Amino acid sequence: MNLSLELSRDKPKIPATPVTTPSSSNPTRRQLFTPSTGYEDNSEAIKIVNQAIDLNSLEQLELIYLPGTNVHKRIQEVKKQFGMGVAKRKAKPVIQKRTPKCTAPPIRARQEKMALNEPCSFFKSLEPGIPPEFCESTAYFYRENYMKVKECLAKMLYILYNKQVFHNKLDVEITWSPRLQCTAGHCKNKADRNGVRSSRIELSDKVLTSADRLRSILIHELCHAAAWIFNGADGHGVAWRAWAARANEKFPDLPPITVCHKYKIFYKYTYKCRSCRATTHAHSKSRKRTGLICRLCKKKIKIFLNRKTKRGVRQTPVRPPLGFAKYFQDNYHKCRRNAVGGNVMRILAVEYAKEKALAEQSPITKYINKYLKFFFR
Ligand SMILES: [Zn+2]
Ligand SMILES: [Zn+2]
């Protein structure tokens, strides 16, 4: 020992390379991380941690080993055993992931968007998805003001179809019906005594609620009329299909003329069973509004009013009528039986006003009126 000390004394002093020891105040993992660090197995990890416990440098060791390594895991175990504060991970805020909305437009819309490089034809412009800048101006006007101008549009389409498809030889009466509730249109065929065939077309107010529907249904019914008048054929047979094919050929923008329609029908009222949730729809409200019972489970039924909004159809429960509406409901049929001419509404309004005024009178006025009525009747 002495010899070695002496030898070292004799040796010229070489300036020692400064050892970069991690300062406990500002340690950095990067400096301390060596390629071998972090790949220790369990037994090695236990040994390293035990050494660190002996040297009272567990905190420093924790800074060296990254989470996920065996040593870091062992440190956490030891800390837990000794009841030392285990570094808690900051709890991530719970974010409810919403199902991402499908941003891609449906295939048909995509195809349309791709194809829309030039202005659309009159027939194509009647479809609701076509942007205004690509629309034919007349068609756009009819499309946007459909409910007001549908009769005019029907006449215009009839002239167009008759000219292009039926050689201008079709003479058909077209009427609108509120009674067709699920059927979009109907072609009534008949033959007189002399064998002269004729047709009349009825279009549904309830189903044909847009210009593109009218465009498709009218040609379907006109093909029926043509098949009957020119070929004497009924139904969707060979003659009807031939006329439909001709129409599709003449108007390539017209969707294929089909036998059935798949239009979604808007119903103003929905009847829901409170118990079994059975649902049915109706265009008009039942006269019997209270005490409606489900056919299936014999429980009460609730009526909902459907309203079209920008977000879709909104349902609100139908409330029992109040004020004049209730008076009207209770007395309409009675009044109609007795009324002369068409003054039912007027009579009901006057009677209601009288009753209302009487109800608002003070008890003394009521008594005086009754007294006067008794003597001066
Ligand atoms: Zn048909
Ligand atoms: Zn039920």
Three-state secondary structure of 263-293: CCCCCCEEEEECCCCCEEEECCCCCCCCCCE
The CATH classification number of 128-250 equals: 3.30.2010
Q: Specify the pLDDT at position 151.
A: 92
User: Which ligand is the nearest neighbour of the Cα of 184?
Assistant: 1
User: Which ligand is the nearest neighbour of the Cα of 219?
Assistant: 1
User: Which ligand is the nearest neighbour of the Cα of 278?
Assistant: 2
User: Which ligand is the nearest neighbour of the Cα of 276?
Assistant: 2
Residue 146 CA, ligand 1 centroid: distance in Å: 23
Residue 124 CA, ligand 1 centroid: distance in Å: 22
Q: What is the mean pLDDT of residues 308-330?
A: 83
Residue 228 CA, ligand 1 centroid: distance in Å: 12
User: Which ligand is the nearest neighbour of the Cα of 237?
Assistant: 1
Residue 219 CA, ligand 1 centroid: distance in Å: 10
Residue 247 CA, ligand 1 centroid: distance in Å: 15
pLDDT digits (tens, 9 = 90+) for 4-17: 444 444 444 444 44
Q: Specify the pLDDT at position 333.
A: 80
Residue 298 CA, ligand 2 centroid: distance in Å: 6
pLDDT digits (tens, 9 = 90+) for 345-369: 888 888 888 888 877 777 777 777 7
Provide the pLDDT confidence category of residue 344 given band limits of 50, 70 and 90. Answer: confident
Q: What is the mean pLDDT of residues 175-201?
A: 90
CB atoms within 10 A of CB 219: 25
Distance between CA atoms of 175 and 202, rounded to whole angstroms?
5
Question: Is residue 21 predicted with pLDDT exceeding 70?
Answer: no
User: Which ligand is the nearest neighbour of the Cα of 259?
Assistant: 1
User: Which ligand is the nearest neighbour of the Cα of 257?
Assistant: 1
pTM for the full predicted model: 0.55
**Phi and psi of 308, rounded to 5°?**
-80, 125
Residue 206 CA, ligand 2 centroid: distance in Å: 27
Residue 285 CA, ligand 2 centroid: distance in Å: 19
Residue 236 CA, ligand 1 centroid: distance in Å: 6
pLDDT digits (tens, 9 = 90+) for 262-301: 788 888 889 999 888 888 888 887 766 667 888 888 888 8
Q: What is the mean pLDDT of residues 165-185?
A: 90
Please say whether the beta carbons of 261 and 217 come within 8 A. yes
Q: What is the mean pLDDT of residues 28-44?
A: 58
Task: For the chain, give every domain's residue range.
Answer: 23-81, 128-250, 269-317, 323-375
Residue 189 CA, ligand 1 centroid: distance in Å: 12
Q: Specify the pLDDT at position 199.
A: 93
